[in-house]
Structure 1
Amino acid sequence: MQKPLAYRMRPNTIDDIVGQQHLVGEGKIIRRMVEAKMLSSMILYGPPGTGKTSIASAIAGSTHYAFRILNAATDTKKDLQVVVEEAKMSGTVILLLDEVHRLDKPKQDFLLPHLENGRIIMIGATTENPYIAINPAIRSRSQIFEVKSLTESDIEAAVFRALEDKENGLGELAIQLDSDALIHLSRATNGDLRSALNGLELASKSTPPEADGKVHLTLQILEECIQKKAFSHDKDGDAHYDVISAFQKSIRGSDVDAALHYLGRLMEAGELLIACRRLLVIAYEDIGLANPGACSRTVSAVQAAEKLGLPEARIPLAETVIDLCLSPKSNSSIMAIDNALADIRQGNIGEVPDHLKDSHYSGAKELNRGVDYQYPHNFPGGWVKQQYLPNKLKHKTYYEPKESGKYETGLAQRYFKINELKK
């Protein structure tokens, strides 16, 4: 029986990895480890289908070490012993330990000495937060790297590679993939390359060739094969961005029903990650200091939605949409940082005042660094009058508070009081 397309298309070397350039790009940490042949055990954590197994496979391929895969939950201590014995006989073995957060104490105690002597290089894979879910003994012997969801362009690049590869991919089938079908495949799989490739294979193998011998894959076929509907996409994908824009503007405009409608369209199209990211932006851009509690609740709801996945994810997201719609709103934070950035980008910067400069080195005092700095905690109310902005900007203001809600009103009152004292 032939292995699934996602398995066959796993990268053989680090150069073949799709996405994760913050880890495997030129000069980045995992590439540097591979090139220097100074590997250490590591934990890769992130959503499913984002390349944790692929990174482990590519590291093994690039270093020519033996590569074995076990599951911490289902494989036994005896299975670990087999890998250790292989390492004793043939040298270093790279062990991908899936669901590493479920490693029990007997297996952990057996494995630890072999991690310490370098005989086993463990690459633990997990969707859980390793700082919470993984035993400290394993964490302390591993480097921890976050694997991020793949972008639409990452998915598209992997799809094209699979369509062209005649040995491991689908290159022998002469597939014609419509542009709107490709857009849907890259978006509706929520950054999960495994789902995208396996959906593509199902579509390709279950669609009869046309008279010219080509396998024509349409949007409708891809919707059926990945079991996610697409809302209407035009050729350039404008409708996709229109819905996202309308979603944010409806929340900003406090229209609960419209916002729920656009959330529903995103959910029906399988756009969970996009909805989550947009809600985080909305919370901090449009609600901001008017209701910081709503921002915190949005973060919690997004985390819950990502753990639940669709269809249940719609529940915390719907609660958040209603919360944000009916919340007081303030854009004072984004306006403040954009005002500051505008000065900086125009070169309006100035030198840091001497009394604020770092003084934690020998000779700083002779250079007048940090001299005359007044420590606010030594003064009543935790405040003392002194200059913080550079001389050329010392009268500049960037933040314009709004009396948008109880919290920001309180901030505004303190802000105005401090400004009066500064005069």
Structure 2
Amino acid sequence: MQQPLAYRMRPTKIEEIVGQKDLVAPGKIINRMVTAKLLSSMILYGPPGTGKTSIASAIAGSSKYAFRILNAATDTKKDLQIVAEEAKLSGTVVLMLDEIHRLDKAKQDFLLPLLESGQIILIGATTENPYINISPAIRSRTQIFQVHPLESHDIETAVMRALQDKEKGLGQEPIQLDQAALNFLTHSTNGDLRSALNALELAAKSTPKTNTGKIHLQLADIEACLQKKALTQDKNGDAHYNVLSALQKSIRGSDVNAALHYAARLLESGDINSLTRRLLVIAYEDIGLANPAAAARTVSAVTTCDRIGLPEARIPIADTIIELCLSPKSNSGIQAIQAATERIKHGDYGEIPAHLRDTHFQGAKQLGHVGYQYPHDFPNDWVAQQYLPDRIKNDQYYKPKQNGKFEQALALQYQKLRAAQRKE
């Protein structure tokens, strides 16, 4: 069985890697390791098809070490033992361990001493944030490097290399790739080189030759053969949270078009639940008291989405996003609770005033739980009395903003109450 083009075109030395210049260009960290022959174990994390396995392959090829690939989820401890035996014989093996975030404790315990001794140079690959999903024991013995989606010019470099390579690529066939097809191929895969190369190969293998014996690949051929890209915001990947973060920051920044763009990414992946949950958070965190009605309408829109489902759910979602973007905004609520929480964390906030303590038991008076004034017994249902503990009685957590009529009214009432309290 012939291996896919993307597999065949994996680099065998550091100079052949496309993209990730911040890691592999001359003078950068991985290039320095290879040049100095001082390899250390590492974890590469980033979206699929961005070169994690290619970097591992190039490191092994440049260092002349044996190179093995295993999967932490599907390969067994016995498979690791085979690699370890090979390392004893050859001195060092570069082990590419895919899905390293799924490494169980038994395999981890087996690997740790081999990493310590340097018999195995571990290059872990993951699409998930290693600071969250990989055990501290592994993290402490590795360096963590993030890889990024490739730029279109990087993908073009790899595509042209594959077209010209007669040994591993498609160079044995007279392939003519139209510029429009090349542009589509390099821009439509979200930086995923694997998808681009495999689509190119499918197009080359399935397009009939012309009368002149050439394989003429046009835009329509590439469009037909480019498999739909698995969106990078899959629910278990780090990129999923990046899209949600970008959505919230776009709404917070009042950029309607950017917010709709990131929402569309989530909708296209079918992940309506994460989107609606985040909209509820945004409504209260970022719009908040500047426009409470918008928060209420967001709740109503989310309920509607649950009832009607996709694709119609896009409509209330779009309406909600537009309103939240263009609404006045206030984060005074979250700032207030954060300030109060910080005071609690620092401690030394004193005892609850005696007159506020529970009196619904015999002996409350003997304990001094007296003196509470019931506000509803006074004009305007308010009476000046102390509610905070003595040590922090002057603390002020809520700092009203003036970005909406509702909070402006709250601010005015707040200042009146504080002024009246100080007069007593």
Normalised to the residue count of structure 2, the TM-score between the two structures is 0.60
1:22-37 alignment, distance < 5 Å: 22-37=22-37
CA offsets 1:332-373 (integer angstroms, 9 cap, x no match) = 9xxxxxxxxxxxxxxxxxxxxxxxxxxxxxxxxxxxxxxxxx
Give unmatched runs, 5+ long, in structure 2: 230-249, 276-281, 291-308, 330-393, 412-424
1:24-423 alignment, distance < 5 Å: 24-228=24-228, 322-329=319-326, 403=403
Which contiguous aligned blocks of 4+ residues in structure 1 show a shift greater than 2 angstroms?
A: 251-256, 259-268, 288-293, 312-324, 328-332, 401-411
Inter-CA distance 255–88: structure 2 relative to 1 (3 Å threshold): closer
Find the counterpart in structure 2 of residue 241 from structure 1: none
Inter-CA distance 329–2: structure 2 relative to 1 (3 Å threshold): same
Find the counterpart in structure 2 of residue 7 from structure 1: 7
Find the counterpart in structure 2 of residue 394 from structure 1: none
Equivalent residues of 1:101, 1:126 under 8 A apart: yes
Task: Give distance in 2, aligned partners of 1:16 and 1:292.
Answer: 55
Inter-CA distance 329–20: structure 2 relative to 1 (3 Å threshold): same
Q: Give how far 1:329 is off.
A: 3.9
Find the counterpart in structure 2 of residue 357 from structure 1: none
Q: Say which one has the larger Rg.
A: 2
Q: Which moved more, 1:175-184 or 1:58-67?
A: 175-184
Equivalent residues of 2:72, 2:97 under 8 A apart: yes
Q: Give how far 1:255 is off.
A: 8.8
Q: Give how far 1:410 is off.
A: 11
Inter-CA distance 150–255: structure 2 relative to 1 (3 Å threshold): closer
Task: Give distance in 1, aligned partners of 2:228 and 2:289.
Answer: 35
Inter-CA distance 114–207: structure 2 relative to 1 (3 Å threshold): same
Equivalent residues of 1:289, 1:407 under 8 A apart: no
Equivalent residues of 2:70, 2:96 under 8 A apart: yes
- In the alignment of these two chains, the number of paired residues is 303
Task: Give distance in 2, aligned partners of 1:140 and 1:315.
Answer: 48
Instruction: Give the root-mean-square deviation of aligned CA atoms.
Output: 4.6
Q: Give how far 1:173 is off.
A: 1.4
* % same residue: 60
CA offsets 1:252-276 (integer angstroms, 9 cap, x no match) = 68699xx9699869988x9x9xxx9
CA offsets 1:285-319 (integer angstroms, 9 cap, x no match) = xxx976799xxxxxxxxxxxxxxxxxx99999988
Write the letter of the residue equivalent to 1:324: I
Name the SS for the 1:150 alignment partner.
coil
Write the letter of the residue equivalent to 1:216: H
Task: Give distance in 1, aligned partners of 2:256 and 2:176.
Answer: 44
Task: Give distance in 2, aligned partners of 1:121 and 1:408.
Answer: 61
Name the SS for the 2:40 alignment partner.
coil
Task: Give distance in 2, aligned partners of 1:88 and 1:313.
Answer: 56
Inter-CA distance 99–263: structure 2 relative to 1 (3 Å threshold): closer
Equivalent residues of 2:23, 2:31 under 8 A apart: yes
Name the SS for the 2:172 alignment partner.
helix
Equivalent residues of 1:290, 1:405 under 8 A apart: no
Q: Give how far 1:42 is off.
A: 0.5
Task: Give distance in 2, aligned partners of 1:163 and 1:292.
Answer: 59
Equivalent residues of 1:291, 1:328 under 8 A apart: no
Inter-CA distance 164–321: structure 2 relative to 1 (3 Å threshold): farther
Write the letter of the residue equivalent to 1:213: G
Q: Give how far 1:26 is off.
A: 2.2
Inter-CA distance 330–225: structure 2 relative to 1 (3 Å threshold): same
Task: Give distance in 2, aligned partners of 1:100 and 1:31.
Answer: 23
